[in-house]
Amino acid sequence: MSVGLLEIPSYVTGTWTIDPAHSDVGFVIRHLMISNVKGHFTAFEGRIVTTADPLDSAVTATIDMASIDTANPMRDDHLRSADFFAVDEHPTMTYRSTGIRPDGDGYLMDGELTLKGVTRPIVLELEVNGFGFDPFAPDPATGARAGFSATGEVNRSDFGITYTGPIPGGGVTLSEKVRIVLEIEAVLQAG
């Protein structure tokens, strides 16, 4: 039994499906070098497998890039274009974990992010929020829920997203660094 297991109250092993109605796949990017703009994707799916040793657990996810929402339809259309995500050619972004390791009170999850046909390593700071049961689940046998938070950072130019939108007098419209912010709730699958 892993030391990590002892640190996770009510830990449940199994295969979980990410619940999009109670999850958020978001990001934050610096705009005009003076403020942050937030956005998220509204269509995504994923699977989490928790094992007896939490450090052997795994995650896979697929995000529909056309579902980007920054609360500005004109900006969203620009983000779907060839300047950014080229959604017509690359409709999805995928993530696959490659390992989990302890880090203080939380964990680091190593993985691979594929965006615009380019795969790069990414490390996410992972927090296990808890395991519990949904009192409103129609079948108590499949009513288990798990919650996770994760954050990380990518350099968008590593994925071929190099649009900068120069500012007259110096500077750029968008930073290279993009902060990833995930709030995930997952449902235990039967069997």
pLDDT digits (tens, 9 = 90+) for 16-70: 999 999 999 999 988 767 778 899 999 999 999 999 999 999 999 999 999 999 9
- Residue 100 — pLDDT band, cuts 50, 70, 90? very high
Question: Residue 163 and residue 176: Cα distance in Å, rounded?
Answer: 9
pTM of the model: 0.89
Question: What pLDDT score does 191 carry?
Answer: 65
Q: Is 3-188 a domain of CATH 3.40.50.150?
A: no
Question: What pLDDT score does 2 carry?
Answer: 43
| pLDDT of residue 3 exceeding 60 | no
Longest dimension (CA), the chain: 62
Q: Quote the tokens at residue 88.
A: 């017509």
Q: Quote the tokens at residue 25.
A: 């796949």
- Among 6-15, 99-108, 121-130, 155-164, name the one with the lowest average pLDDT: 6-15
Q: What is the mean pLDDT of the chain?
A: 89
- Residue 137 — pLDDT band, cuts 50, 70, 90? confident
Q: Which one, of 163, 176, 144, 141, lies nearest residue 33 by Cα? A: 176
8 Å CB contact between 154 and 120: yes
| pLDDT of residue 1 exceeding 50 | no
Question: What pLDDT score does 142 carry?
Answer: 65
Question: Residue 171 and residue 17: Cα distance in Å, rounded?
Answer: 42
| pLDDT of residue 111 exceeding 70 | yes
Centroid of chain to Cα 107: 15
Model pLDDT for residues 144-166, shown as the tens digit of each residue: 999 999 999 999 999 998 887 76
8 Å CB contact between 149 and 183: yes
| pLDDT of residue 85 exceeding 80 | yes
- Tracing tokens 């620009």 back to the chain, one arrives at 78
141/174: higher pLDDT: 174
So where are the chain's domains? 3-188
| pLDDT of residue 5 exceeding 60 | no
